[in-house]
Chains A and B, each alone.
Chain A
Amino acid sequence: MATALTLKELSKKEDLLTHGHRMCSGCGAPTVVKMVLLATEFPVIAANATGCLEVSTCISEYTAWKIPWIHTAFENAAATLSGVETMYRSLKKQGKIDKEVKFIAFGGDGGTYDIGFQSLSGAMERGHDMTYVCYDNGAYMNTGIQRSSATPLGADTTTCPAGSVIPGKLRARKNLTKIMAAHNIPYAAQASPSHWMDLMKKVQKAHSYEGPKFLNIIAPCNRGWRSKTNDSIALSRLAVSTCYWPLYEIENGVTKITSTPKEKVPVAEFMKPQGRFKHVFEPGNEWLLTRIQEEVDAEWEKLKHAEKCGC
């Protein structure tokens, strides 16, 4: 029986990622992980790609994980977990284990969109029973805020810095959620910790399917976004209400927007509180803000169209 997704019921559950981990205060990633694990009913085993989450939650003799957890390297959380899951199937087939177990991989955007892309694609194609969760903070944060293919258009990072000639990142983000859905997996969705109920429902839906599932969850990073430490949830909410980070799912190939903003807020409102976009609001860069808005609008229209045509 799935836990009812009410604060009353959820508050009775134990956090499977304990306090005392060493992520920055106000970091979105541990909140995302806790929500995912709170919504997970079954015994669960997690794999973790190298990145902020991994280096801050298991150091030397301490671990913040109350579940079996494995980290091997950066680009291979999906491959590593596919091995764990295969051993589970092998031992189950041989009658050596009988428990129901769920498998979750956590990777940052760099470990998922970029270097771990092949390993993720392979694991999805092979059909392992696992849910891959990308906590997307839009850059390689652990190594000091370098550009990834999830870095938003216009953002200032340490490898695509906003300079006097080039104003930050000039490429739009890779649409990984769609690419994962194109693997014809039963469930792919995008979520945000601001909409915790929606997020947890998606986790439970993912677990209800056998086979590979993919969840892309925005996870604000105040260090990299240069925002206030108490702004994570507010920013992830603005990401949704501006349609920068639409909440939707692709279930058995059918797209559904799970939360449509009452009023679509201009993307500038999401960007203004973040130092990484400061230069976009400087005179001479108006064209960039216009392009960013156009990009967001176009993606949003495409998504609405996909929902309408049932594809």
Chain B
Amino acid sequence: MAKVVAVTGNEACANALRQVNPDVCGIYPITPQTDMMQRFASFIADGKVDTEPILVESEHSSMSACIGASAAGGRVVTATSSQGLALMWEMLHIASGDRLPIIMPLVNRALSAPLNIHGDHSDGMGARDTGWIQLWSENAQEAYDNTIQAFRIGEHMDIRLPVMICLDGFIISHSIERMEYLEDDEVKNFVGEFKNMYPLLDLDKPKSYGPLILTDLYHEYKRAQHEVMLKVKDVVLGVAKDFEKLSGRKYGLFESYRLEDADIALVIVNSAAGTSKDVIDEFRSKGIKAGLLKPRLFRPFPYDEVAEALKNTKAVCVMDRADSFGGYGPLFMEISSALYQLKERPLMINKIYGLGGRDYLPSHAELVLNELNEIAQNGKIRTIKEYIGVRE
């Protein structure tokens, strides 16, 4: 039986981790994640989990220790934000290259300089090439649900990859929201017992982890990583189906909102999607066919499915809460790649919004939708990429 609660995103994720009861976790403070692992540390202190914590001296060591623990053979979690993820960067590639299913909520926050502790997606988007599976979450409910599903996805015997669960710093991590918890035993049964693959702790069959691989086989090794990523979509959908049976909540590769007959569409991830949906409704009531696509699985990216979902639109704006300076926003690049394969494709623009926690307001969505409406009618784009909500 589901339990309705009013909790923050951090609390929801900490609770998901408690229900999963991992064997080892790495803990290191960074705003806005700090509070999630603090809560988890209390679960440990109160004997509510069997988890052994490693109270590391840095995020680099946290990910290193998580890799060691995961290779040893068992379920491993950690969580971080921003600079912490940046410091882990080297090790993120090693976690995925070694095919270790480490689970990590990432409370999205801006990157320095200048120093800023508030939410944007620079950290998570910057980690898109690290070989981790990425699930993005609009609200606390999705962050909780994604965290639970992440174990089944990453630990799937055909996959064995680390998973990052992204949720917006402060906006979701620190705001109280009404949501539903599953029962402890439901989560336990859903994720199941951890299954080992080549554990270091199998002392009778010694293994070497982390060899030097030169030009003879490295290329093949990396192709294998690409190929396993291709299998992830089906696993994500299969796990979502099981999760729906358990929770009644439906998940896909992305969410389509009023998209079926839409002429204009926004593509936007995480919390700002919620704000945008309200404005979409307003436009619909005015008779303008607006819709929204909210990516959930960002790595691997479901190009074909996204193209299919957007193919009948006339104009699309991809909203990025991160920038690739001197390039387009990271989400825009993906959507462009997806739509390029279509014979006839919508016109596209890219807006950069909400960096460093700058508020994203309904009025911003309104401006963008009006612009899209014009583009859809006259076929003219003023500028492809533009910052919105900027002080001049």
Q: Which residues of A contact B (CB under 8 A)?
A: 43, 45, 47-48, 54-55, 58-61, 63, 65-73, 75-76, 79-91, 93-94, 97, 99, 101, 118-119, 121-123, 125-126
Q: Which of B66, B90, B203 contacts A68, CB < 8 Å?
A: B203
Contact of B201 among A59, A81, A88 (CB under 8 A): A88
> Once the chains bind, are A86 and B212 in contact (CB under 8 Å)?
no
How near does chain A come to B59, taking the closest CB pair, in angstroms? 10
Q: Is B64 an interface residue (CB 8 A)?
A: yes
Which residues on the A side are within 8 Å of B24 (C-beta)?
A: 83, 86-87, 90
CB distance B212 to A87 under 8 Å? Answer: no
Determine, out of B10-18, B47-55, B274-282, B312-320, the stretch whose residues face the partner at the interface.
B47-55
Q: Pick the contact of A91 from B23, B64, B207 — CB < 8 Å?
A: B23
Contact A83 B212 (CB under 8 A): no
Q: Chain B residues near A84 (CB, 8 Å)?
A: 68-69, 71-72, 200-201
What are 22 pairs between A and B in contact, CB < 8 Å?
A54-B212, A60-B213, A63-B208, A66-B206, A68-B201, A69-B206, A70-B210, A71-B208, A71-B209, A76-B60, A76-B61, A82-B65, A82-B68, A84-B200, A86-B65, A87-B74, A90-B50, A90-B52, A91-B201, A94-B23, A101-B201, A126-B56
Give the chain B neighbours of A88 by CB distance below 8 A.
Answer: 72, 201
Q: For B57, list chain A residues within 8 Å (CB).
A: 118-119, 121-122, 125
Look across to chain A and name the residue whose beta carbon is closest to the beta carbon of B209.
A70
CB distance from B221 to the nearest CB of A (A): 9
**A residues in contact with B210, CB < 8 Å:** 48, 58, 70-72
Contacts of B66 in A (CB 8 A): 83
Chain B residues with Cβ under 8 A from A59's Cβ?
A: 211-214
Contacts of B60 in A (CB 8 A): 75-76, 79, 119
A-B pairs, 7 with minimum CB distance: A83-B68, A122-B57, A83-B65, A71-B210, A87-B72, A83-B69, A79-B61
Residues of chain A within 8 A (CB-CB) of B214 are 59-60
The answer to whether residues A80 and B74 also contact, given A54-B212, A68-B203 and a CB cut-off of 8 A, is: no
Do A55 and B206 touch across chains, with their CB atoms under 8 A apart?
Answer: no
User: Are A76 and B69 neighbours in the complex by a CB distance under 8 Å?
Assistant: no
A71 touches B52 (CB 8 A): no
> How far, in whole Å, are A90 and B60 apart by their CA atoms in the complex?
21
Flag if A73 contacts B68 (CB, 8 Å).
Answer: no
| Cα-based distance from A116 to B52 in the complex (angstroms) | 24
| 14 further contact pairs, Cβ within 8 A, besides A83-B66, A83-B69 | A43-B203, A45-B201, A54-B212, A59-B212, A61-B217, A79-B61, A80-B65, A82-B54, A84-B71, A87-B76, A90-B50, A101-B201, A101-B203, A119-B60
Q: Are A83 and B70 touching (Cβ within 8 A)?
A: yes
B336 within 8 A of A: no
A67, B23: Cβ atoms closer than 8 Å: no
A179 to chain B, nearest CB (A): 15
Bound-state CA distance A90–B23 (Å) is 6
* A60 in contact with B217 (CB, 8 Å): yes
Q: Is residue B348 within 8 Å, beta carbon to beta carbon, of the partner chain?
A: no
On whether the beta carbons of B68 and A70 are closer than 8 Å, the reply is yes
Query: Within 8 Å of chain A (Cβ to Cβ): is B91?
Result: yes
Q: How far is the CA of A127 from the CA of B203 in the complex (A)?
A: 23
Q: B216, A60: Cβ atoms under 8 Å? A: yes
Residue B73 CB within 8 A of the other chain? yes
Report the Cα distance A69→B210, complex, angstroms: 9
- Quote the shortest CB–CB distance from B65 to chain A (angstroms): 3
Bound-state Cα–Cα, A118 to B68, Å? 17
Which of chain A's residues have a CB closer than 8 A to the CB of B130? none
* Chain B residues positioned under 8 Å from A89 (CB to CB): 52
CB <8 Å contact, B72 and A72: no
Among A85, A90, A97: residue with most chain B CB under 10 A: A90
Docked pose: A45 CA to B71 CA in angstroms: 12
> How many Å lie between the Cα of A89 and that of B66 in the bound state?
14
Chain A, Cβ-Cβ closest to B206: A68
Complex Cα spacing A58 to B278, Å: 57
Rounded to whole Å, the gap between the CB of B26 and the closest CB of chain A is 8
Contact partners of A48 in chain B: CB under 8 A: 210
Q: Is B297 an interface residue (CB 8 A)?
A: no
* Chain B residues within 8 Å of A63, by CB: 208, 211
B94 within 8 A of A: yes
What chain B residues lie within 8 Å of A87 (beta carbons)? 23-24, 52, 68-70, 72-74, 76, 201
Pairwise interchain contact B52-A118, C-beta atoms closer than 8 A: no
Contact assessment for B68 and A67 in the assembled complex, using a CB-CB cutoff below 8 Å: no
B58 at the interface (CB under 8 A from A): yes
Q: Which residues of B contact A97 (CB under 8 A)?
A: 201
State A126–B216 Cα separation when bound (angstroms).
Answer: 40
| Alpha-carbon distance A302/B335, docked complex (angstroms) | 67
Of A43, A79, A99, which is in contact with the most chain B CB atoms at under 10 Å from its CB? A79
Q: A66 CA to B69 CA in the complex, in Å? A: 20
Which B residues from 37 to 95 make CB contacts under 8 A with A? 50-52, 54-58, 60-62, 64-74, 76, 90-91, 94
Chain B residue at smallest Cβ distance from A97: B201
Could you tell me if A68 and B58 are in contact, using CB atoms closer than 8 angstroms? Answer: no
Say whether A122 contacts B69, CB under 8 Å: no
Contacts of B295-324 to chain A: CB distance below 8 A: none
Tell me if B202 counts as interface (CB < 8 A to partner A). yes
* A90 and B51 contact, CB distance less than 8 A: yes
Compute how far the CA of A125 lies from the CA of B90 in the bound complex, rounded to whole angstroms: 24
Structural contact, B68 and A80, CB atoms closer than 8 A: yes
Known: A76-B91, A91-B23. A81 touches B68 (CB 8 A): yes
* Complex interface: chain A residues within 8 A of B73 (CB): 87, 91
Question: Is B208 a contact of A47 with CB atoms below 8 Å?
Answer: no
